Structure 1
Amino acid sequence: MPSRRTVIVLAALGVVSLATALFLRYGIIQNTPIGLACEAGEESLTCKVRLAVILMFIQDCFGWTALIAAGVQLWRPNSVALGVGLVFALLGLVLYNTRASALAVTLLVLSFARPAAVRA
């Protein structure tokens, strides 16, 4: 089980990644005026970010990264794998990579179902 400090950091990372994913989806990707401007050939940073995120979810990058990190967390539990899996699973759930991200969330939850270590 993660320590109290680790839980606080993971919760903060989860909230930030969820807020970022919601902003990317509803503020940039599904925003009609931004979409029309980018399709018309505008060369702004917003259009480049929009294109990069679209290409990443077409390739299932969020879901596969979350799935790999969740597998590492299941195999050798550590805070970094849990954090990476959590962040990318939340990004994937909001940004259209739901299948692999949902499986990653399941593996992350299963990683807590271990017998307690015997302390002598």
Structure 2
Amino acid sequence: MSPLVVAAVGLALYLRYDIIQNTPIGLACEAGEQSLTCLVRLAAIHLFVRSIFGWTAVVAALLQLWRPNVVTFGIGLISASFGLVLYNTRLSALAVALLVLSLARARSGAR
């Protein structure tokens, strides 16, 4: 799972510092340039303004608490990674805490 998280954090850092906060790209996109970079920038901005990364992480973490599964754990961890880098820190931190709490849960067959 860790290579996926490292890739997610790397992609989120690239989006934040090389696309979203890059002043020349921002000015070009605001001036009306139609490019894939501007489309990705606009999509990322819409996702973090609406806290999609944080809410996805929280929902996945709650599902992980309810029914532990490696897929929901991965989705929660990747979404929380994006959220922590892309301005959804409160919800993503809550999701990480819930994911850690889900690891402390006893296995169904264990005594």
So what's the TM-score if we normalise by structure 1?
0.89
Tell me the residue number matched to 1:109.
Answer: 100
CA RMSD for the aligned pairs?
A: 1.0
Q: Deviations over 1:13-61 (max 9, x none)?
A: 1000000000000010000110010011000000000000000101000
- Give unpaired runs (5+ residues) of structure 2: none
Corresponding letter in the other structure for 1:63: G
1:93 aligns with 2:67: no
The whole-number CA distance in structure 2 between the counterparts of 1:115 and 1:58 is 37
Letter in 1 for 2:49: I
Q: Partner of 2:48 in structure 1?
A: 57
Q: Which runs of 4+ in 1 moved over 3 A?
A: none
Matched, 1:20 2:16: no
1:30 aligns with 2:16: no
Q: 1:118 deviation in Å? A: 2.5
TM-superposed deviation, 1:114: 1.7
Q: For structure 1, which runs of at least 5 residues remain unmatched after alignment?
A: 1-9
Distance in 2, matches of 1:115 and 1:65, equals 24
Give me the identity figure in percent: 65
Counterparts of 1:77 and 1:94 in 2: how far apart (Å)?
25
- For residues 70-81 of structure 1, the aligned pairs below 5 Å read 70-81=61-72
The TM-score with structure 2 as length reference comes to 0.96
Task: Using the TM superposition, give the Cα deviation of residue 115 of structure 1 relative to its aligned residue in structure 2, in angstroms.
Answer: 2.6
2:74 aligned with 1:83: yes
Alpha-carbon separation, structure 1, partners of 2:62 and 2:56 = 10
